[in-house]
Amino acid sequence: MRMSKLFSTTLRDVPSEAEIASHQLLLRAGYIRQLGAGIYSYLPLAQRVMSRIEHIMREEMAAIGGQELKMPVVHPADIWQETGRWTQVGDEMARFKDRSGHDMVLAMTHEEVVADLARREIQSYRQLPQLIYHIQTKFRDDPRPRAGLIRVREFTMLDSYSLDRDLAGLDAQYQAHYEAYLRIFNRCGLPVKTVSSDSGMMGGLEAHEYMYLTPVGEDTLLFCIQCEYAANRQVAAFAKPDPPDEVPLPLEKVATPGTATIAELAAYLEISPAKTAKAVFLMAELDDEDSPQMVFAVLRGDMALNETKLANALAAAGKGIVRTLRPALEAEIAAKGATPGYASPIGIDRAQVWVVADDLLPRSPNLVAGANEAGYHLRNTNLGRDYDADIVADIALAEDGAPCPHCQGVLEARRGVEVGNIFKLGTRYTAALGATYLDEDGQPQPIVMGSYGIGVGRLMACIAEEHHDAQGLIWPASVAPFSVHLVLLRGKDGVSEDAAEALYQDLVKAGLEPLYDDRDERAGVKFNDADLIGIPLRVTVSSRSLQSGGYEFKRRGEEDRWIVPVETALSVIMDQIEQGN
């Protein structure tokens, strides 16, 4: 490819909308251009990087028995209604009607389509296991697209799906994907950590995320510094302390003016926040309810509520799938007989309130809680004696420095970007759509599914975030858009032009895919653009290099330059490319 013909230009200035390095550099180097919020065009340089990433993906999927297909971007709503996700998924799913008035969906994932295919194609246990995948466009109407390709609305994704006859088969395919996805990230030059995660809208039995650790990440992860425990904070557990044994004491109403917060209450009574009970009122919108349900979460005052754990606890208790949680309004709280800032489950109208208590509360006697009267609290409240809970579960948020649930070591919080995820779906989708197979006894059994995904554009952005310097991108050779950047510095005698053209033709014939900067620009402009674009090997042809005996070689990110004789240049380039890979 000649740069004089390349369909993109480099930018000298940092675009004002770009906040992180990968976004800035991909824009400046001419890889991407924004069309709308969270919607990008991938220009030829980016497309070549993504194609190389996808090639790696296809190789690794083939290695574990994957069969590639292509599923539609547009889905009839019927299959999403059959699984219940039509109502469970919120506004991030793009819905529309076709010209006949049928409800339709823009694909955000393909579990429903796979389950529909399975019920049509799979009849017997002899057809299992199966592993299918595609690399396809998705659309999620994210309300907060940010950071360039890190969080977008339209994206390309590798998503694969395993089909098995039982959980043992699912376990095997899950492990195969776990390892294959690690190989994909390793071959792309991106360091990742795997963490346990929430299955979210996907549902299922178990899930892991592949996290690229970076300060620009939106997810908070907890890692034990002593053992291998790692989890997204949405689901992270921690070892909760054993409170000292105490005899339950009688309730005592005390005046506590101006103490609407835990900090104010603890200071006023000169007690630790751990001796208080925190009240959190939320309104839960459920997938099978028209009106929101009030949830009263209670936990120890020195801990914070984890809303994901709360939603999972409600689902596990059979209360329904939570679509959204929002803070309850003061009027909504008062309507239940509670007083904002001074609330507790004692004395409130329980008819339409679900009380969910953290699992530490049954072991935490004599806590100070609200009296449901402004300016007053109750000493010595005890779960089980003074009030009951509909659900008792772990709903506390794990924080940096908390003790590890496995070894009691210290948990360390890190920021990260999710670049991949894997889910054990079980029969969540196949049971809903009636995707079954006949076993050896001729009895129908639900097909067991797994789902596995990697965002291609986000992966490219994270590679750029990991591999760059102040001058520009530094692509790993495995995903670089071109293998070598050939730079011509024109001289007055025309000798350098002839030599550069001859080398370019030799590289093309050898199948090495060079990017040839044949533009009529100054040396500084060409070198700056070469650094910005980030191809691993730069070869400069100039009158000076020829006078020195050949061509000047330089690897991106290194300062050393060396001259290679004309007659050995092609073989040295091939060796350099081989070493880079």
DSSP structure string for 216-277? T-SEEEEEESSSS-EEETTT-------PPP-PPPPPEEEE-TT--SHHHHHHHHT--GGGBE
Give the whole-angstrom CA distance, residue 304 versus residue 290. Answer: 29
DSSP state of 146: B
Give the whole-angstrom CA distance, residue 141 versus residue 454. Answer: 18
Cβ atoms within 10 Å, residue 390 = 17
Structure tokens at 551: 């061509």
Judging by DSSP bridges, how do beta strands 219-224 and 230-232 pair with one another?
antiparallel
Q: Where are the beta strands (DSSP E) in 427-557?
A: 436-438, 444-446, 448-455, 468-469, 472-473, 484-488, 514-517, 537-541, 550-555
Which domains does the chain show, CATH number per domain?
A: 3-236+413-464 (3.30.930.10), 252-393 (3.90.960.10), 482-580 (3.40.50.800)
Return the half-sphere exposure (C-beta side, CA atoms, 13 A cut-off) of residue 289: 14
> What CA–CA distances, in Å, run from 274 to 249, 277, 369, 387?
17, 8, 11, 19
Looking at residue 581, its pLDDT comes to 55
Give the whole-angstrom CA distance, residue 445 versus residue 541. Answer: 67
In the chain (581 residues long), the average pLDDT of successive 10-residue segments reads: 94 87 96 95 97 98 98 96 90 95 96 97 97 97 92 96 96 96 97 85 79 93 92 92 91 94 95 95 85 93 94 89 89 91 90 93 95 95 94 96 93 95 94 96 96 97 96 96 95 83 93 93 95 96 92 93 93 85 55
Closest by CA position to 445, among listed 427, 457, 424: 427
Return the half-sphere exposure (C-beta side, CA atoms, 13 A cut-off) of residue 41: 8
Q: Let me know: does 4 contact 515? Beta carbons within 8 Å.
A: no
Residues constituting the chain: 581
Looking at residue 349, its pLDDT comes to 85
Q: At residue 103, what are phi and psi to the nearest 5 degrees?
A: -70, 135
Give the whole-angstrom CA distance, residue 278 versus residue 444. Answer: 50
Helix ranges (H only) for 410-451 are 430-433
Q: Let me know: does 450 contact 132? Beta carbons within 8 Å.
A: no
SS3 per residue for 74-123: EEEHHHHHHHCHHHHCCCCCCEEECCCCCEEEECCCCHHHHHHHHHHHCC
Residue 255, strand partner residues: 376
Q: Let me know: does 407 contact 226? Beta carbons within 8 Å.
A: yes
